[in-house]
Amino acid sequence: MEFISQEDKQQLETKLEELIAKRPVITKRIAEARALGDLKENAEYHAAREDQGMNEAEIRRIEERLATAQVVEEGTVPDDMVFLGATVKLIEIDEDGDEVDEDTYKLVGESTGSFDLDCIEVTASSPMGESLMKARVGEVVRVDLPRGTKRFKIAEIL
């Protein structure tokens, strides 16, 4: 089961509405391209059909996520526990136990794709997100990353 915030749910529902609204536009493109003639060598027709397939796949993916996800209500999680929507200050700990780097991370259900934030977005389903979920201030979490294992101390929840 995936946990999402109310904000994530609203974003998914908005995106789903946009994708559903695109259906008639794509269908019209297919019809116009079909009217141009031979379908075997009709690049516009094939491009429109590919767009339709990708649009429908994304609609199914979002509908499935919304059906299986559980919305986390604010205020149901202790203040000192990292949970969805939390912004945390983490201190990286090296092999010798020394503090080497400090960064701010935000635990999200789905990445916004925005890179102009004051913090690094981490999805709850990523290795970092899974390690952070339900950890408390002062704990050291272990994250198994593709380039090796790293440890982080949870300094504070902002």
Tens-binned pLDDT, residue by residue, of the chain (158 aa): 677 778 888 989 999 999 999 999 999 999 998 888 888 888 899 999 999 999 999 999 999 989 988 887 766 667 778 888 888 999 999 888 888 889 999 888 777 676 666 888 888 888 998 899 888 999 999 999 888 899 999 999 88
Dihedral through CA 131, CA 134, CA 139, CA 141, nearest 10? 0
Say how far apart CA 87 and CA 74 lie, in whole Å: 14
- What local confidence, expressed as pLDDT, does residue 93 receive? 92
- What local confidence, expressed as pLDDT, does residue 83 receive? 83
In the chain the domains, ranked by start, together with CATH numbers, are 3-71 (1.10.287.180), 87-157 (3.10.50.30)
Identify the residue whose tokens are 């609203």: 10
Nearest to 150 by CA among 85, 86, 100: 100
- What local confidence, expressed as pLDDT, does residue 76 receive? 63
- What local confidence, expressed as pLDDT, does residue 74 receive? 66
Nearest to 118 by CA among 151, 152, 89: 89
- What local confidence, expressed as pLDDT, does residue 13 receive? 94
CA-angle at 72, arms to 66 and 73, nearest 5°: 125
- What local confidence, expressed as pLDDT, does residue 116 receive? 64
Q: Copy the structure tokens of residue 56.
A: 């429908």
